[in-house]
Amino acid sequence: MTWQPLDCHAHTTLSDGSLSPEELVARAHELGVRPGVADHVTRDVDPAVTSLAATRHYLDVLAPLGVAIGGEFCWHDRLWRELPDDVVVRFTHRIGSLHAIFKPGGGTIHAFRREVPAGMTPDQYMDLHVQNLLRFSLEMPVDILAHPTLLPLEFRAMPLEALWTEAREDRAIEALRRAKIAFEVSNRYRPHERFVRKVVQAGVRLSLGSDGHSLEQVADVAWPLALARSLGVKDEELYDPFAHGSRTGRFGGKPHPAL
């Protein structure tokens, strides 16, 4: 069979996307991409999959479609901690997002709200962000870190290379390596090349993700794939739960039994 890229991270009307699961599958096939659905399974996003019962329904809807069945879980939200094993193993892969980070003493700083504390400098925020990422890698049983360079609205105009110093990159990469969590090369929140190059050199697997929410976005992994190839990553080395297994999903950390 001819190899095709897998979009591990795309959204449908089961959360905040504009396409039905069936429409997402059709669009992916049009683009020569294997479809993966990873809707928001969290109480942080509206609309989203927000309960155990809704998670079971989500999995039931996707099961007949022949897609990679993922879910995007928020680090700061407790829902991922509440799902029983019989539900967790039905995902082919799970994605973790730092949509918000915990502040010392309580509360969070959210990436999509303007709530950075007054007086907090970019360097202070980044140090706290990396501390949360290290905790995330130790506590959250996921296969992929989504959009690793996503930052709060206040800081998005700043160059990523300045905020993500090499020392911060090194700490993040080592945490992902130890936890065997893949680094998503996001088409929506594009990481800088230096970071991705160092990820590859450290032996951390890359994952392709459109983070698509619309017809124009879903299954668009051309830029992530081109970047991975330019860094010498072989197509078959890109994260694929059917080939490489899941830390907690249906294949029990082992490759797909049919392979």
Whether the pLDDT of residue 220 is over 80: the answer is yes
**Which 8-state DSSP code applies to residue 60?**
H
**Which residue shows structure tokens 């970047």?**
227
What does 168-183 look like in DSSP terms, one character per residue?
HHHHHHHHHHHHT-EE
Bridge partners for 38 per DSSP: 70
User: Considering the chain, what percentage of its residues have pLDDT values greater than 70?
Assistant: 96
**Averaged pLDDT for residues 218-235:** 98
The confidence band for 253, taking pLDDT boundaries of 50, 70 and 90, is low
Q: Which domains does the chain have, with CATH numbers?
A: 21-244 (3.20.20.140)
**Averaged pLDDT for residues 59-86:** 97
* pLDDT tens digits along 136-145: 999 999 999 9
**Averaged pLDDT for residues 66-86:** 97
**Averaged pLDDT for residues 89-102:** 97
* pLDDT tens digits along 171-208: 999 999 999 999 999 999 999 999 999 999 999 999 99
Q: Describe the crossing of helices 122-139 and 166-179 by its angle, rounded to 10 degrees.
A: 10
